[in-house]
Amino acid sequence: MKLARQFAVLAALVGAVLAQTEQWPVHDDGLNQVIEWDHYSLKINGERVFIWSGEMHYWRIPVPQVWRDILEKTKAAGFNTVAFYGNWGFHSATRNTTDFETGAHNIESLFSLAKEIGLYIIFRPGPYVNAEAHAGGFPGWVTTGEYGTLRNNDTRYTEAWKPYMTKIGQIVSKHLVTNGGNVILYQLENEYGAQWLNPTAKTPNWPAIDYMEELEANARESGIDIPLYTNAPNMGGLSWSKDYSNVGGEQDIYGVDSYPNCWSCDFSECTQWGDVEEFKVQDYYSHFALISPTQPSFLPEFQGGSYNPWGGPQGGCRESNGPDFVSMFYRDNISQRITLHSVYMLFGGTNWGGLACPLVGTSYDYSSPIQETRLLGSKYQESKILGLQVRTAKDLTMTERIGNGTAYTDNSLIWTTELRNPETKSGFYIVRHNPSTLTTTDAFKISVSTSKGNFTIPQLGGTLALVSHEAKILSTDTSLPNGRTLVYSTAEVLSVSTLEKQSPLLVLWTPASAVGEFLLSGVQSKSAKFVKGTGKIVAQADGTTLVSIPSVNGVSVVKFADGLRVLVLDKPTASITYVPSLASDPKAPLDKNLVVIGPSLVRSAKLKLGVVALTGDTTEETTIEVFAPPTALILTWNGKPLAAQRTAYGSLITQFRPSLTGIKIGGFNWTQANGLPESSAEYDDSKWTIVNATSSPSVWQPETLPPLFGEDHKIWMGNILWRGRFTGSQASGVYLSVAGGNAMGYSAYLNGVLVGSFLGDRYTIIGNTTFSFANATLNADGDNVLLVVQDHTGKGLRDLALIPRGIFNATLQGVTLAGGDRSGGFNSWRVAGTAGRDSETGTIDPIRGTLNEGGLHAERLGWHLPGFKDTSQQFKASAGPAGGISTDGMAFYRTEVDIKVPKGLDASLAVEFDPSISPTRNFRLLLFVNGYQFGKIIEREGNQIEFPVPPGILNYNGKNTIGVNLWAQEVVGAKVGVSLKVLGVSESSFDALMPEASALRPGYQDRSAYY
């Protein structure tokens, strides 16, 4: 009786809402009508599109050949769009240069690849991007203070960003959908909720408004004629929506970013800003109704994982951002009428070199569906299952919320939201736990309203169930080819294919052993039968056909006389089911869908002259089943013909066993050299930069002079070495205040003797300490040399980008200074940093770029580069980092390793360290692979020991140069084990050998000028 009464109320509510559907205005950007939008969704060339997007950063995977791998995996997971951040600092080493030509700086192929594969692009150029990147994507030179406080209308800042934004706009404009390309949206700035001084009172912030208007004008002048959008950092700023205000700077489409499970693996980083509870859903529906009611609801960044801060766990926090996170949160977002949804991150990549901001270490895996290793797991498969459903459910692009609450089911612990398309009348019932944080397993029946009446389902016995953070989208009145309708289904829709017009496919899935029940109209039930699996088929009095499978396991197939085939899969099978499109169209038309079951990954499919040609990956022996037309007689996998049989229900099926052996990795034969000869008082620093300025442009001023800021000497990243001289023996110690970012550290040497180290922690960005000279010998009649070697963990985000890296205060203790003397007792200073920074282009290594190297001795001299000859007297045979150093200081280790990966295999390789053998955790380490800095360990603050390195950086068919710089900050020394391990292997169509990538690994050239 309870459900019966609810039906009456719900049915009346449906009718009332649909009858009162508002006619919403259709918008465009005033420049063309290729892209339009309204209250419901985006329209491209007049067709509604649900934007299902995932983010990757090309600059975090600096191998253009690998971009194909990531984009193919993106498409295979059902995404129709990929989002990219630009990175001003990656492209602009100096004020007068913008590099979009060399190596991974050339992004033209990125756009071409995405179009070839069939993906729309959302592009986010900046100028500021945040992204846990060095200075939030600002180049180091813009953070010196010479350009003001940044992110406003200061003319100095405006003139700084214009060349980059103009150039990247011109490049992107060639690839806009309006020019035959595939870029559909263009973001200005990032999480810049600054339109108002007071959002409630709508008090304008004119410098911010002027800034946004200048950015918009620049984009339009650069040829960007597609919609511009904004991504609010939260739901409190109420900035830049044309539905909310018209004072200036408003963008075409408003969006809001959201990370409900915390953006960091350290949950305390989020709880300090308010009440945050894992798996607690947010209310976006009300927010968009307030600020952007005539626009589609847009989440430009929705949590795809979390970054791993210093001190975070090895491998990140996948347990709180796993498959159940995808299942529940993403479906709940759909229940709130989100029709533009971008996952941040889909593929995180690596903070190689100095790309990272100080909060994070080398890994930017982000617990993403596509792992930093490029391997795929259960989270990817969960994303794919939902992505294929969204790609298929065209009616989701136009819905109204009919109602929500606990009245739809017979269990108050189940929350249901009903959406309905006001034109087609198709419905979607999204169910999750109430509250969403529950982890129990709860059974229920649900009431649905359909064109054939109201039903409590399942009808033929059994119940549905939600397990923990699981959610479901149950469809009603889904149109199928030739007048058929899926009236309802307790199984979720995975895909529909009309490739075989006479025998279309409907693919459904349920959890393993769950009930699968669906009702069809417009089909002939008389001769319907199970051709695989068992269940009930019941012809209803109204001409509909009810099908029930009490326990779904594997693949069940129901065939109807009119040719319709319904596949019902359990979840393990759905996880290895792909639906590649035969067309490179992001909309993936149903008549181009080819259903394939079995491989680990299907990258592409072609059907021509009776041949089905599939490409993809296999990691184990598997059955490959392809639902191809009867005219398809031959099946190939990665170019190899397979002996396939035709099944009773029309598919081609075969068994495939990949060959995964043959990978060979050579041994390590290490050489070793002193990595810190600069600590010696006799070291010749005559080629170093003299530091003698009396002021700095920085908005943060030093306490002693001269200013010892790396930025004043074009040092943007990496280790910085400072050498100060003073005379006499009066000094008893030195007070140092050194800025280096979170987890920074430094060591000080007086006349070659370690006087102390600041070990750092994950919270301190400026380290203050006093070191005694008691253990060192001072020269009474000559110079004393103090070396300060500091770590640099990147420039901070937002306003913190302006804090310089260097020494704020260096003051000798026990020395009397005259009034007004700000020298701290030092007579002179010199500094060493990145080699070649004073060149016209700002770098002597344009391929790897300005953010790859710091100022260590080994880096300045190119010891880390392929081709360097380590046969001089400086180097000696060594046991390597595992032998370590027995005292403080640095050692640089170098070896060449042969790698042979057979053609046809793709492998994920990583350098792994074992710090447990070290006598102390107080050491720092840099890993170099073929000249790229691809790993950083700060052992006392970080737990990452495994550093994935992609093909292209590694040569999979030859020699590889590996370098390790080990820095012991205490006299007990340090040591660490090193190995090169295989994380995963697949037989693949992806060419991991990529001989053309050798150009990304330029070799050694003489650097004696930087000695």
How high is the mean pLDDT of the chain?
Answer: 96
Q: Does residue 99 register a pLDDT over 90?
A: yes
State how far the Cα of 556 lies from the Cα of 460, in Å rounded to an integer.
Answer: 18
DSSP 656-717: E-------EE----EEEEES-GGGSTT---TTSEEE--S----SS--SSSS-EEGGGGT--S
Burial class (CB in 10 A: 0-12, 13-18, 19+), 916: exposed
The mean per-residue pLDDT over the stretch 772-793 comes to 97
Candidates 801, 723, 813, 824; CA nearest to 770 is 813
The residues carrying an active-site annotation are 191, 301
Return the biggest CA–CA distance within the chain: 110
Phi/psi for 275 (5° steps) reads -75, 110
Confidence of residue 405 (pLDDT cuts 50, 70, 90): very high
- Which residues have a Cβ under 8 Å from the Cβ of 570 and sit 6 or more positions away? 509, 510, 511, 512, 513, 514, 552, 553, 554
Confidence of residue 21 (pLDDT cuts 50, 70, 90): low
Q: Does residue 5 register a pLDDT over 60?
A: no
- More reliable by pLDDT, 6 or 478: 478
User: Would you tell me how many other CB atoms lie within 10 Å of the CB of residue 781?
Assistant: 7
- Which residues have a Cβ under 8 Å from the Cβ of 141 and sit 6 or more positions away? 92, 94, 95, 711, 714, 716
**Does the N-terminal peptide bond of residue 309 adopt cis geometry, omega within 30 degrees of 0?**
no
User: Would you tell me how many other CB atoms lie within 10 Å of the CB of residue 821?
Assistant: 12
- The answer to whether the beta carbons of residues 494 and 507 sit under 8 Å apart is yes
Burial class (CB in 10 A: 0-12, 13-18, 19+), 167: middle
State how far the Cα of 980 lies from the Cα of 881, in Å rounded to an integer.
Answer: 13
pLDDT tens string 31-48? 999 999 999 999 999 999
pLDDT tens string 164-185? 999 999 999 999 999 999 999 9
Q: Look up the CATH number of domain 27-372.
A: 3.20.20.80
Q: Does residue 119 register a pLDDT over 90?
A: yes
Percentage of the chain exceeding pLDDT 70: 98
Q: Tokens representing 164?
A: 């980059």
pLDDT at position 871 is 86
State how far the Cα of 282 lies from the Cα of 861, in Å rounded to an integer.
Answer: 53
State how far the Cα of 934 lies from the Cα of 355, in Å rounded to an integer.
Answer: 11
Phi/psi for 528 (5° steps) reads -65, 140
- The answer to whether the beta carbons of residues 875 and 671 sit under 8 Å apart is yes
Confidence of residue 942 (pLDDT cuts 50, 70, 90): confident
State how far the Cα of 28 lies from the Cα of 19, in Å rounded to an integer.
Answer: 27
Q: Does residue 18 register a pLDDT over 90?
A: no
The mean per-residue pLDDT over the stretch 765-776 comes to 98
Burial class (CB in 10 A: 0-12, 13-18, 19+), 62: buried
Distances (CA, A) of 283 to 192, 290, 334, 336, 429: 21, 12, 12, 8, 18
Q: Where are the alpha helices (DSSP H) in 122-224?
A: 155-173, 206-221
Q: Does residue 4 register a pLDDT over 50?
A: no
pLDDT at position 941 is 93
Q: Tokens representing 979?
A: 């190995």
Candidates 56, 89, 97, 162; CA nearest to 801 is 89
pLDDT tens string 604-614? 999 999 999 99
The residue ranges of DSSP E strands in 882-998, in sequence order, are: 889-900, 905-914, 923-929, 932-938, 946-949, 957-968, 977-988
- The answer to whether the beta carbons of residues 569 and 596 sit under 8 Å apart is no
pLDDT at position 121 is 99
Percentage of the chain exceeding pLDDT 90: 94
Phi/psi for 974 (5° steps) reads -165, 155
The mean per-residue pLDDT over the stretch 98-107 comes to 97
Length of the chain: 1011
pLDDT at position 319 is 86
- The answer to whether the beta carbons of residues 163 and 98 sit under 8 Å apart is yes
Confidence of residue 16 (pLDDT cuts 50, 70, 90): very low
CATH 2.60.120.260 fits 693-832, yes or no: yes
State how far the Cα of 491 lies from the Cα of 566, in Å rounded to an integer.
Answer: 11
* Cβ-count burial 642-669 (b if 16+ within 10 Å, e if not): bebeeeebbbbbbebebebeeeebeebe
* Residues linked to residue 736 through DSSP beta bridges, in sequence order: 769, 810
Q: How far apart are the first and last CA of the chain?
A: 87
Q: Which strand ranges, in their side-by-side order, compose the sheet holding 35-37?
A: 35-37, 42-44, 47-49
Q: Looking at domain 841-1010, which of 2.40.50.100, 2.60.120.260, 2.102.10.10, 3.30.70.260 is its CATH number? A: 2.60.120.260
Give kind and range of the element (H or E) at residue 380.
Answer: helix 378-392
Amino acid at 897: V
pLDDT at position 260 is 95
Confidence of residue 1009 (pLDDT cuts 50, 70, 90): confident
State how far the Cα of 711 lies from the Cα of 94, in Å rounded to an integer.
Answer: 12
Burial class (CB in 10 A: 0-12, 13-18, 19+), 19: exposed
Q: What is the pTM of this model?
A: 0.96
Distances (CA, A) of 905 to 318, 747, 808, 820, 956: 27, 45, 52, 69, 10
Q: Does residue 15 register a pLDDT over 90?
A: no
State how far the Cα of 636 lies from the Cα of 604, in Å rounded to an integer.
Answer: 12
State how far the Cα of 884 lies from the Cα of 976, in Å rounded to an integer.
Answer: 7
- The answer to whether the beta carbons of residues 460 and 538 sit under 8 Å apart is yes
Q: Does residue 20 register a pLDDT over 60?
A: no
- The answer to whether the beta carbons of residues 612 and 626 sit under 8 Å apart is yes
Domains 693-832 and 841-1010 are alike in CATH topology: yes
Q: Look up the CATH number of domain 396-605.
A: 2.102.20.10
- Rounded to the nearest 10°, the torsion over CA 355, 357, 358, 362 is -40
pLDDT at position 7 is 52
State how far the Cα of 226 lies from the Cα of 185, in Å rounded to an integer.
Answer: 6
Q: What is the 3-state secondary structure (H, E, C) of 753-767?
A: EEEEEECCCCCCCEE
Give kind and range of the element (H or E) at residue 291.
Answer: helix 285-291
DSSP-derived pairing of the beta strands 120-126 and 81-85: parallel
For the chain, the domains span: 27-372, 396-605, 693-832, 841-1010
Find tokens 């004696």 and name the residue. Answer: 1008
The mean per-residue pLDDT over the stretch 218-234 comes to 98
- The answer to whether the beta carbons of residues 524 and 617 sit under 8 Å apart is no
State how far the Cα of 889 lies from the Cα of 417, in Å rounded to an integer.
Answer: 63
